[in-house]
């Protein structure tokens, strides 16, 4: 894998590959690769000629009281994993490269960013859409690969691609899970051994409510109450939000139509660690 640190070098590389008629897939990440990231790299490998993985812990998507400083980082190991998984380029810019002195632009999307994650983390998605735009402009991909684990983020990026006319196909790869069901996340390392045992309670609740929806439950208030009740079976899980929404639009109708997919979204605190998960029914 070739490490690239500047936007201009990255753009030149992509332009040259495009001239050769190659297709480019980008996998945007914040590093500390686990098997979930590897599954995104594998998906990219199977669907494009050139794979660019971006590794940038983006300061603008963290609030001042969030975990930017202690977010796990291991660039040596990440480079090795990108190499082992046949990625062609690891784009690893510095904060100064992405946000040079005088940088003042921010991309803000309304609507879909204002609920769920957007309530607890009001500026989070502005940071995400701004950096993802910059990463698209640096890597010039044909395909962008994101994980389903950050479900609302995938909806927001789809909106970004539509609204700013990026000629990029977005592909969403299913969440990878630990054997007990916990969604893989770089933040799982924050969990103490005791909390780690409690963490799969979120997925168990999602699965249980999924079954009720499959049996015919369609009223949103009833689905939400059931989800809260099921998560509360693990009292250590402090619910931030747990709700059902339309899987494509994130709208919240009183009653879901039978021909629409529903996404169940949950964010919970285990001690100070905030975990998110979701399931599509
Ligand atoms: O999902 C992530 O890791 C980040 O939000 C992303 C898309 C790389 C932007 O910083």
Q: Catalytic site residue 37?
A: yes
Q: Judge if the beta carbon of residue 132 lies within 6 A of ligand 1.
A: yes
Helices (H), the chain: 7-19, 35-47, 75-84, 95-98, 117-120, 124-139, 151-163, 193-198, 201-214, 220-231
Q: What is the pLDDT of residues 98-156, one digit of tens each?
A: 999 999 999 999 999 999 999 999 999 999 999 999 999 999 999 999 999 999 999 99
How many Å lie between the centroid of ligand 1 and the Cα of residue 29? 5
pLDDT of res. 179: 98
pLDDT of res. 196: 98
How far apart CA 279 and CA 266 sit, in angstroms, is 9
pLDDT of res. 238: 98
Q: Is the pTM of this model over 0.85?
A: yes
Q: What is the rounded average pLDDT for all residues in the chain?
A: 98
From the list 17, 34, 37, 124, the catalytic residue is: 37
Burial class (CB in 10 A: 0-12, 13-18, 19+), 9: middle
Nearest residue (by CA) to ligand 1, atom 5, is 128
pLDDT of res. 174: 98
Count of CB atoms within 10 A of residue 222's CB?
15
How far apart CA 207 and CA 181 sit, in angstroms, is 10
How far apart CA 138 and CA 132 sit, in angstroms, is 10
Q: Pick the atom of ligand 1 nearest to 57's CA.
A: 10
Q: Angle at the Cα of 225 (from 220 to 229), degrees rounded to 5?
A: 150
Q: Judge if the beta carbon of residue 40 lies within 6 A of ligand 1.
A: no
Per residue, what are the HEC states of 91-135? ECCCHHHHCCCCCCCCCCCCHHHCCCHHHHCCCHHHHHHHHHHHH
pLDDT of res. 157: 98
Give, for ligand 1, the residue of 26, 27, 30, 39 to mutate: max count of ligand atoms closer than 8 Å to Cβ.
30
pLDDT of res. 20: 98
Q: What is the pLDDT along the chain (281 residues), one digit of tens a residue?
A: 999 999 999 999 999 999 999 999 999 999 999 999 999 999 999 999 999 999 999 999 999 999 999 999 999 999 999 999 999 999 999 999 999 999 999 999 999 999 999 999 999 999 999 999 999 999 999 999 999 999 999 999 999 999 999 999 999 999 999 999 999 999 999 999 999 999 999 999 999 999 999 999 999 999 999 999 999 999 999 999 999 999 999 999 999 999 999 999 999 999 999 999 999 99
């Amino acid at each position: 894998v070739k490490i690239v640190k500047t936007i201009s070098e990255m753009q030149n590389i992509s332009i040259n590959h495009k001239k050769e008629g190659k297709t480019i897939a980008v996998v945007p990440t914040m590093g500390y690769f686990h098997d979930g990231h590897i599954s995104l790299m594998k998906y990219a490998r199977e669907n494009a000629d050139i794979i660019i993985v971006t590794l940038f812990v983006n300061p603008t998507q963290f609030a001042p009281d969030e975990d930017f400083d202690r977010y796990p980082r291991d660039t040596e190991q990440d480079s090795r994993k990108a190499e082992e998984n046949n990625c062609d380029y690891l784009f690893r810019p510095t904060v100064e490269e992405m946000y040079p002195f005088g940088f003042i632009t921010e991309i803000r999307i309304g609507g879909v960013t204002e609920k769920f994650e957007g309530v607890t983390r009001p500026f989070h998605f502005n940071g995400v859409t701004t950096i993802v735009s910059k990463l698209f402009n640096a890597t010039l991909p044909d395909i962008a690969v994101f994980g389903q684990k950050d479900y609302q983020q995938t909806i927001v990026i789809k909106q970004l691609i539509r609204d700013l006319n990026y000629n990029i196909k977005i592909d969403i790869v299913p969440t990878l899970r630990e054997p007990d069901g916990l969604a893989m996340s770089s933040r799982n390392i924050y969990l103490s051994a005791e909390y780690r045992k409690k963490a799969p309670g979120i997925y168990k609740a999602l699965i249980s409510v999924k079954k009720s929806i499959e049996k015919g439950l369609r009223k949103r208030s009833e689905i939400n109450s059931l989800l809260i009740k099921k998560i509360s079976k693990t009292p250590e899980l402090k619910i931030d939000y747990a709700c059902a929404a339309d899987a494509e639009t994130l709208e919240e109708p009183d009653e879901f139509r039978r021909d629409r997919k529903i996404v169940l979204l949950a964010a919970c605190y285990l001690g100070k660690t905030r975990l998110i998960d979701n399931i599509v029914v």
